[in-house]
Amino acid sequence: MRAATSTPPADAGVGAGGTAVDTHCPYCALQCGMTLSPAGRASVRVRPRDPSAGGLCQKGWTSAALLGSPARLTTPLVRDGGTLRPASWDEALGLVASRIKKIFAERGPDAVAVFGGGGLTNEKAYLLGKFARVALGTSQVDYNGRFCMSSAAAAAHRAFGLDRGLPFPLADLEGADAVLLAGANPAETMPPFLSRLRRATDAGGLIVVDPRRTPTAERAALHLAPAPGTDLALALGILHAVVAGGRLDHAYVAGRTTGFEETWRVAAAWWPERAERVTGVAAADQRRAAAILSEAASAYVLTARGVEQHATGVDTAGAWINLALALGLPGRRGSGWGCLTGQGNGQGGREHGQKADQLPGYRKIDDPAARAHVARVWGIEPSALPGPGRSAFELLDALGTDDGPSALLVFGSNPVVSAPHSARVADRLAALDLLVVSDIVLSETARTADVVLPITQWAEEDGTLTNLEGRVLLRRRALAPPPGVRTDLEVLHDLAVRLGQPPERFPADPETVFTELRAASEGGPADYSGVTWDRLRAGERLHWPVPRQPEHDKPEHGKPEHGKPEHGKPEHDKPEHPGTPRLFLDRFAHPDGRARFAAVDHKGPAEPPDEEFPLYAITGRVLQHYQSGAQTRRVEELRTAVPEAYAEVHPDTARRAGLSDGAAAAVVGRRGQVVVPVRCVPTMRPDVVFLPFHFPGAQRANLVTNPALDPVSRMPEFKVCAVRLTPAGEREAR
């Protein structure tokens, strides 16, 4: 076992002197457990623990290095004469509050916007949404999770009436004989996850759908490599093969679903040979996929960003759900459909109110009953709650325009690197009257801010996150933060008070915030009312919904149920609902209890290749980096391993462009160009250029990505746009 070490702040606190603290990795939605052991003041040792069944990936092992990073911000910064200079908290927050008040007076509350992140804890996501709706009174709040999971979430709502990434525990996958992974590359994004698929892999049951031969595809018995933007046609072809091959689960379809006939009317026209002409995937391979899935005793269909990040992302995710329904998988123990969430709190972050159309508990902001419930918890009139606001890209695109916000507060996000058409987003940020960024380092977005607020990071604060299986986890503080930084919750509390709110309405203590979140979520789809930090501290595995147990259903006072430990709480305060590891076993969440097929058809990418831009650009991740790279690019081991972006292409594609391996190339699209070295990879499709998206400046993949939005989820089409490849520096005739 390898231990990673780093130098923590000088006043390392809770875990100092070698006291081990159980917590969770700061990065992806797997939320691997780890034990941090700060040894004196010299180093932080990282050891894996539950639920990291397969150990940690390189990002997790090196995560402690960020705690002692010299790049860490420890004092607020304010822009003065064009440059950022250190300031006191009082000056920085006073400046933010006075500028917001001025903008309110001139243009009203919707002139101030808030942009959150899928890495924020549940408590932060909750308080941020409340801050926006109550302290600012603005409807203009959304978050970067819109870029990440919103299409699968919308498709799951449509099909099942409820969205939880995996509606079953991760451990269930260990019994699978067959798993189809569509648009997912866990060998790089969350390597320990692959240990859950060992049985399916060994049994020859792993099917991977990806235009690239990724490290995940290398392990598959069957790799299907469709042309970018044609996954929906491929899903239709496999569905056709299932039905035409007599593999439809008639009893399940008749007993547990609706809408199959309409769906089949579309899919009947997608016989595998036709799907082959559109996708490039051999008809025989489509039939083989249908056979592997239908003949397995235990099978799962799992999707991720490769399916979702399209202008047809909801329908594409829906097409894979249709396939799972036709095979009778969802809502059965030992089989199912699920979506692999990306960001650390991608699940909880979309449940508690930082999304433009939602209130806590996964409630809809335009639902009168939901508004009344949340307004009651917040102590305001329902009429005081704003309505739905703009979605993430639409919000960023409106900044500084005549009818858009003129101030933006950013928490836990770096849109200058992570938003599509990022040069335009940078222009919109520059047009603001006020940009405030709360971050641990001077990210590319923070560099452009008027005020930068230095905040605590993962191991310096307590909070809960909800991982990809809907399990609520307690991330615990292991170190005292460096002097000068504050938590996001303290920042929101201080700003709310300066904007005239009563201090008790915006608590800064995370457990107190969670207690309020429980009440706000009670009765909603994502009901956390029965979750307490004491239950989490005691190690209970709680998957939502966890409703509060009615008083009369509780065990007799003073007698612990099932031998569970007492946690120092009076019995009448202790909820006992065991949580819901598996959803839909008896019924789906629609009023009739049935799942819905969706009659979806192939449309193709919004920007197909043409004579001028003959290649597809696709984007994705590498093992060593996370999201915009703001954290991982500052960890030496990770930066050294992958210091920059590159364009992965087939050697013939490079040769035709006059490029050799390692040469500097311009990947030129309609919105801009990315300048990166070429990496020749013989397994690449000759019509595809792959760009990792973790890098800044001229290497930003999002300089070329297309902000075309899905009409339902409003998720941009990150995954495919048209480009050409040329040697860098060659003048482009435009």
CA distances from 679 to 218, 652, 684, 703, 730 (A): 18, 12, 10, 19, 19
Of residues 23 and 706, the one with the C-beta less far from ligand SF4: 23
Of residues 340 and 449, the one with the C-beta less far from ligand SF4: 340
Ranges assigned E (strand) in 274-325? 299-303
Q: Which helix (H) or strand (E) holds 615?
A: strand 615-620
Query: Minimum distance from CB of 31 to ligand SF4 (Å)?
Result: 5
Query: Minimum distance from CB of 628 to ligand SF4 (Å)?
Result: 15
Closest of 403, 374, 371, 373 to residue 388, by C-alpha: 371
Among the residue ranges 22-30, 221-229, 371-379, 700-708, the one whose residues contact ligand SF4 (CB under 6 A) = 22-30
HSE toward the beta carbon, residue 598, CA cutoff 13 A:
22
Entry field: residues in the chain: 734
Query: Minimum distance from CB of 473 to ligand SF4 (Å)?
Result: 11
Count CB atoms within 10 A of the CB of residue 79.
Answer: 17
Among 12, 28, 474, 701, indicate the residue that binds ligand SF4 (CB under 6 A). Answer: 28
Map the footprint of ligand SF4 across residues 349-388, applying CB under 6 A: none
By Cβ distance, which residue is nearest to ligand SF4? 60
3-class state of residue 47 by DSSP? strand
Q: CB neighbours of 75 closer than 8 A, spacing ≥ 6?
A: 86, 87, 454, 484
Of residues 196 and 363, the one with the C-beta less far from ligand SF4: 196
CA distance 404 to 107: 10
Of residues 496 and 642, the one with the C-beta less far from ligand SF4: 642
Query: Minimum distance from CB of 54 to ligand SF4 (Å)?
Result: 8
Among the residue ranges 23-31, 217-225, 318-326, 612-620, the one whose residues contact ligand SF4 (CB under 6 A) = 23-31
CA distance 90 to 92: 6
Query: Minimum distance from CB of 180 to ligand SF4 (Å)?
Result: 21
Query: Minimum distance from CB of 336 to ligand SF4 (Å)?
Result: 21
Q: Taking CB under 6 A as the rule, does residue 181 contact ligand SF4?
A: no
Map the footprint of ligand SF4 across residues 51-70, applying CB under 6 A: 52, 56-57, 59-60
Give ∠ CA 430-432-435 in degrees, rounded to 5: 90
Map the footprint of ligand SF4 across residues 506-545, applying CB under 6 A: none
Of residues 34 and 667, the one with the C-beta less far from ligand SF4: 34
Of residues 193 and 378, the one with the C-beta less far from ligand SF4: 193
Map the footprint of ligand SF4 across residues 319-348, applying CB under 6 A: none
CA distance 77 to 664: 36
Closest of 653, 718, 579 to residue 229, by C-alpha: 718
Closest of 143, 130, 108, 110 to residue 398, by C-alpha: 110
Number of residues engaging ligand SF4 in binding (CB under 6 A)? 14
Q: Taking CB under 6 A as the rule, does residue 458 contact ligand SF4?
A: no
Two tokens at 590?
């629609």
Among 12, 25, 283, 296, indicate the residue that binds ligand SF4 (CB under 6 A). Answer: 25
HEC per residue, 644-661: CCCEEECHHHHHHCCCCC
Query: Minimum distance from CB of 29 to ligand SF4 (Å)?
Result: 7
Map the footprint of ligand SF4 across residues 569-608, applying CB under 6 A: none
Of residues 424 and 471, the one with the C-beta less far from ligand SF4: 471
Among the residue ranges 26-34, 198-206, 540-548, 695-703, the one whose residues contact ligand SF4 (CB under 6 A) = 26-34
Query: Minimum distance from CB of 642 to ligand SF4 (Å)?
Result: 14
Count CB atoms within 10 A of the CB of residue 519.
Answer: 18
Among the residue ranges 2-10, 50-58, 401-409, 654-662, the one whose residues contact ligand SF4 (CB under 6 A) = 50-58
Of residues 467 and 580, the one with the C-beta less far from ligand SF4: 467
Of residues 27 and 126, the one with the C-beta less far from ligand SF4: 27
Query: Minimum distance from CB of 261 to ligand SF4 (Å)?
Result: 42
Two tokens at 22?
């159980």
CA distance 196 to 187: 12
For tokens 């809770």, name the residue: 14
Q: Output b/e per residue, 480-510; b: 16+ Cβ within 10 A.
A: bbbeebbbbbbbbbbbbbbbebeeebbbbeb
Count CB atoms within 10 A of the CB of residue 694.
Answer: 26
Of residues 362 and 458, the one with the C-beta less far from ligand SF4: 458
Two tokens at 666?
């311009």
Torsion of CA 647, 339, 590, 259, to 10 degrees: 60
Of residues 192 and 525, the one with the C-beta less far from ligand SF4: 192
Q: Taking CB under 6 A as the rule, does residue 31 contact ligand SF4?
A: yes
The DSSP-derived string for 667-733 is EEESS-EEEEEEEE-TTS-TTEEEEES---GGG-GGGT-EEEE-TTT--EETT-EEEEEEETTPPP-
Among 30, 323, 465, 703, indicate the residue that binds ligand SF4 (CB under 6 A). Answer: 30
Map the footprint of ligand SF4 across residues 182-211, applying CB under 6 A: 190-192
Query: Minimum distance from CB of 491 to ligand SF4 (Å)?
Result: 26
**What does residue 126 show for φ and ψ, rounded to 5 degrees?**
-65, -50
Among the residue ranges 21-29, 120-128, 297-305, 655-663, the one whose residues contact ligand SF4 (CB under 6 A) = 21-29
Query: Minimum distance from CB of 28 to ligand SF4 (Å)?
Result: 3
Among the residue ranges 20-28, 371-379, 423-431, 506-514, the one whose residues contact ligand SF4 (CB under 6 A) = 20-28
Query: Minimum distance from CB of 424 to ligand SF4 (Å)?
Result: 30
Of residues 75 and 195, the one with the C-beta less far from ligand SF4: 195
Of residues 51 and 605, the one with the C-beta less far from ligand SF4: 51
Among 27, 270, 300, 393, indicate the residue that binds ligand SF4 (CB under 6 A). Answer: 27
For tokens 């040697």, name the residue: 727
| Residue ranges that bind ligand SF4, judged by CB under 6 A | 25, 27-28, 30-32, 52, 56-57, 59-60, 190-192
